[in-house]
Amino acid sequence: MKRLFCTLIAVVFFAYAPGAHAGELEDGASAFIRALEKEAIASLTDSEKPRPERVEAFRKLFEEKFAVEAIGRWVLGRNWRRASEDEQREFLELFEDLMVVMYVDRFENYAGEKLNIVKTSPVDENRATVHTEIQRPEGVDGKPISVLWRVGRQGDIYKVLDVVVEGASMSITLQKEFASIVKNTGSVAGLITELRKKTSELNPS
């Protein structure tokens, strides 16, 4: 009888425990996105500094808030395993450069628009999706733009894993793009050449 009681308590405990954790994950994830928005806009709209410095400040923030290496590795997909160690390293560097320039543009474009957090839903015990809307005067058809942030957690650290704009995932789109280039150029080296071209074109220095 005592044993049964203990089992019952254990069952109840374990059944409720993840629920409590999930709520905490959701709160943590939406607070993380709120903070990210604030810091990103602060680092980019600091008119005291020249633009290259602002971009560098943003890069630091980006490295801290986005799981750049995890995303890069995932985006390269099956080609990651075919790449040499040097190629992997260079790919990740170029990938980060590309992402930084892309997101500098995006945050600058949206600075001043309101980012509303609509809701946050858990994906599993360590990942959550933060649903946000950006109200633009123009918008797509005057409707607010839907932006989902997929956030992962490890201990106390939260990082962005993917950004989904109007139903299109950045990571999936990049993965398809890169796979297409590897297919057409025949190798990861070909992709790296293309990325090098693109980043120097976007970042003339």
Residues that bind another protein (CB under 8 A): 67, 69-71, 73-74, 78, 80-81, 85, 88-89, 92, 98, 101-102, 105-106, 109, 121, 123, 129, 131, 137-142, 146, 148, 150, 152, 154-155, 157, 159, 161-162, 164-169, 171-174, 176-181, 183-184, 194-195, 198, 202
Q: How far is the CB of 53 from another protein (least distance, A)?
A: 22
Rounded to a whole number of angstroms, the minimum distance from the CB of residue 175 to another protein is 8
How far is CA 74 from each of CA 10, 81, 86, 158, rounded to the nearest angstrom? 38, 11, 17, 18
Comparing CB distances to another protein, the nearer of 24 and 177 is 177
Q: Going by DSSP bridges, is the β-strand pair 145-154/157-165 parallel, antiparallel, or unpaired?
A: antiparallel
Contact residues for 70 (Cβ-Cβ < 8 A; gap 6+):
152, 159, 161
Q: How far is the CB of 104 from another protein (least distance, A)?
A: 11
> CB-wise, 43 or 199, nearer to another protein?
199
Nearest in space to 78 (alpha carbons), one of 184, 175, 203:
175
